[in-house]
Amino acid sequence: MALLITDECINCDVCEPECPNDAITAGDEIYVIDPAKCTECVGHYDEPQCVEVCPVDCIPKDPEHEETEEELRAKFERLTA
pLDDT tens profile 37-49: 999 999 999 999 9
* Residue 63 is assigned to a structural domain of this protein: yes
Of the candidates 25, 71, 72, the residue with the CA atom closest to the CA atom of residue 46: 72
Quick check: 3 and 57 in contact, CB under 8 A? no
Share of the chain above pLDDT 70, in %: 100
* Residue 24 is assigned to a structural domain of this protein: yes
User: Cα 56–57–62 angle (5° rounding)?
Assistant: 135
All residues at 6 or more sequence positions from 53 whose CB lies less than 8 Å from its CB, including other chains: 14, 15, 18
What range defines the domain where residue 75 resides? 16-80
Write the CATH number for 20. 3.30.70.20
* Residue 39 is assigned to a structural domain of this protein: yes
* Residue 6 is assigned to a structural domain of this protein: no
* Residue 10 is assigned to a structural domain of this protein: no
**What is this structure's pTM?**
0.92
Number of domains in the chain: 1
* Residue 76 is assigned to a structural domain of this protein: yes
